Chains A and B, each alone.
Chain A
Amino acid sequence: MSGHIILDLGLISMLLVIAFAIIRMRSLFAVVMLQGVYSLVCAAWFVSLDAVDVAFTEAAVGAGVSTVLMLAAMLLADRQSDEVSLRRQIAPIIIVIASGLMLFYAIGDMPIYGDANSPANSHVGAGYLDKTAKDIHIPNVVTAVLASYRGFDTFGETVVIFAAGLGVLLLLGLNGNAGKWQACPNGVSIGLGQSPYAQLGEDQPKVSPKAEVATNLPKEKKTIAKKTSQSKGRPRKAVPKGDVS
């Protein structure tokens, strides 16, 4: 038992160290790799907690495929992340600490880990163990729960994955050629650029919407953001035309 605890503590401290390294690291390549490491250590910890199925998934998805996908995404971006001021990291830290505190508040009343009499293990959980042997006759209760007892959940999860795929299909396209098409109104455009207001330069928001977002960036970035966003915020040429289809 005590060996287990030492192992668990060791793995948790590794996770903590890796997590901090990921936060502070600016080389994206290293970050991606460390995320893979994080997943792997996680998987090891799950094994130590006897959640073999979860560990398997974590290893396959977290350490395997998602690392590759992150790499593929990284190729499209800079290799280095911009320096993030500590001020901007305070908020995530606050949110983590607040959530953590809430969890700690609850810990006092949590059942002991592995307690056979805890509600999670005694009520429906125990029922699954009995019923699987009786109803389905397969040794792996996890599979029985996932695919049969709560099969509809898994259906939902499959759809979630499908929706993610569909999203990629919609936003990027499988051949990487999406995103060039531009929407345009079916009629005469009187918006933005062509409105007399815009010609007079009146009634334009003082700071363009994209630059508002950048209010917390350092000063010199702000001006750049303003420029680019204004050039982009402009409407495309609105050509009066018939039905787009």
Chain B
Amino acid sequence: MDILSLLPPWLLTHGVALLVVLPLLAGAAMAVIPRERIAWTITFMVMLICMLCALTLALQVIDQGRLSYKMGGWEPPYGIEYVVDALSAPVLLLISAMAVICLFYASPSVKAEVEPKKRAAFYGAFLICAAGLLGMVVTGDAFNVFVFLEVSSISTYVLVAMGHSRDRRALRAAYDYLILGSIGATFFVIGIGFLYMETGTLNMADMSNILDGLDGGSRVAQVGFAFIVIGLGLKLAMFPLHMWLPGAYAHAPSFVTIFLASTATKAALYLLLRFAFTIFDLSFDYVVTILSQFVLVLAVVGMVFASIQAIFQTDVRRVLAFSSIAQVGYILLGLSFLTLSGLTASYVHLINHAFIKGGLFLAVGAMWYRFGITRVADFRGLSKTMPWTMSAFTISGLSLIGVPLTAGFVSKLQLATAAWERGYGWAVGVILFSSILALVYIGRILRVAYFETPPQINGVEVLKNEAPLIMLIPMWILAILSIVIGINAGWVVDAAGRAAELLIPTQMIGRGL
């Protein structure tokens, strides 16, 4: 790659660590920075640098394959290893790019939603959250995953609770999230502990080798696997473990909801892929059983159930939150096929859904910013009062439904094809049915926005009041991205294909079918 030769060599070697350390340090700095403007600028710059870092890493991975970085200079099984490969590079890029996009939007949004003197610290919590997510994805050490899971979780609880100046229910939502999230993290760390007991190492690659040598390991490893699946299941909102999600998404500040919806569950999903397919792998029968049956059933039930639940919500953010749970179901469905095409579809949807849901929440946030509304019934006439915002919402909404020429269609088509190839004709039906449900819940919002007249205040119809440009830009970036992927999905599918090949090595293809 030509670009790589232009960059300083230092960045190429240390970029992996910089990606995590920089936002962490900047986050710490926010505690003492008094001015909101400076805080925003630093946050923005830091995340921009992170995004560039992630981009160079992604290019390097394409160029050289797996990158490894030895924290503290210690050799891997002893020290902590950071790894970037085809599986993690796109997620890193996704997280950092979404952070940058959200930050555009943050400067007006945070002003409306967060107390003035807390804004700097709020950005600090955001930086730590982003760093935690990046750390979870980039690390090659099982315990380090837990550490960064905690880093991101703790700051996420705080960020969600910051919605209390909008709605006191945010505190309750954050508390729910805290309790369930802590159970998840505890289960996860119990699982890691068991794995350590079984293998005597914390390094993922080392662990994988040792487990292979033990042929899946004893009951200790099996129970560890169950704990890890459930712990991560809580974090990624796998269907019946999703209870924390709607409240958290509905009551957090808009900016936080956007970022969380597009990245947090994705990072946890990445971890599930990482643990289930590379540390454990499909040569162990119990892994195959859990993934191809347990996860499959939950995915299918979740897709339908959460979609139906979304239809009955009165608050738009809750509608979208339940839809997120359903979308997690799609991703898990692809994963549970245990085929290359299934995993590719899953990974494509992981990326696409981040863009789609990010775009939707961005638009909803802008609507709150202007009119203080989040309920479906209050969306009346928004196509006239906020035409550009509503158009962006519509594009992302159509993409969520899976209308052709949008990103959502690409991933659903991939998924349906994968299901077909796997011989799950019924799964195609479920995907279709769930899409119809998506059509109903999105259509319900669109109908109110397009077919009803704007409300009147004191007898005067509400006038056009478009969101500020700086909010429109990010949502249109995502909306256009959605269409671009819909028209030319090659690059996303390629990236996903590379990730899937990493997850199911050639000799493993066909295992568990």
Contact = CB atoms under 8 A, between A and B. Distances in A.
A–B contact with Cβ pairs below 8 Å: the answer is yes
Given A149-B78, A163-B154, A167-B157, A191 B199 contact: no
Interface stretch (B159-167, B272-280, B329-337, B431-439): B159-167
Interface residues of A, number: 71
B52 interface: no
Nearest to B125: A166
A187 to B, nearest CB: 4
Given A110-B220, A191-B374, A245 B158 contact: no
A192 B74 CA distance: 58
Nearest to B150: A160
Given A105-B219, A167-B157, A186 B108 contact: yes
Contacts of A95: 183
B223 A194 contact: no
B231 to A, nearest CB: 11
Contacts of B371: 185, 187-191
Contact of B125 (A103, A163, A197): A163
B118 A105 contact: no
Interface in B225-239: 226-227
Contact of A108 (B114, B196, B219): B219
B425 interface: no
A153 B203 CA distance: 13
Contacts of A111: 197
A169 interface: yes
Contacts of B199: 119, 123
B135 A182 contact: no
Contacts of A169: 31, 118, 121
B314 A205 contact: yes
A190 B385 CA distance: 11
Given A152-B71, A190-B378, A191-B375, A170 B121 contact: yes
A160 B198 contact: no
Contacts, number: 221
Contacts of A244: 111-112
Q: Is the interface of A mostly helix, strand, loop or mixed?
A: helix
A190 B314 CA distance: 16
Interface in A139-153: 148-153
A121 B183 CA distance: 28
Contacts of A150: 79-80, 143-144
B4 interface: no
Interface in B141-200: 141, 143-144, 147-148, 150-151, 154-155, 157-158, 161-162, 164-166, 168-169, 172, 183, 187, 190, 194, 196-200
Contacts of B422: none
Given A131-B78, A185-B372, A106 B223 contact: yes
A245 B72 CA distance: 44
Q: Residue among A95, A150, A190 with the most chain B CB within 10 A?
A: A190
B144 A106 contact: no
Given A197-B377, A244-B111, A167 B155 contact: yes
B48 interface: no
Given A163-B154, A163-B155, A235 B220 contact: no
B115 interface: yes
A128 B115 CA distance: 48
A102 B193 CA distance: 14
27 contacts: A102-B227, A105-B223, A106-B194, A106-B219, A109-B220, A119-B200, A120-B200, A122-B200, A124-B201, A149-B72, A150-B79, A150-B80, A150-B144, A151-B72, A153-B80, A157-B147, A159-B24, A159-B27, A160-B150, A163-B125, A167-B157, A171-B158, A185-B368, A187-B370, A189-B371, A192-B373, A194-B455
Given A102-B226, A123-B201, A232-B168, 12 more contacts: A103-B223, A127-B78, A152-B80, A153-B141, A159-B131, A163-B27, A167-B154, A169-B118, A171-B161, A190-B462, A191-B371, A191-B374
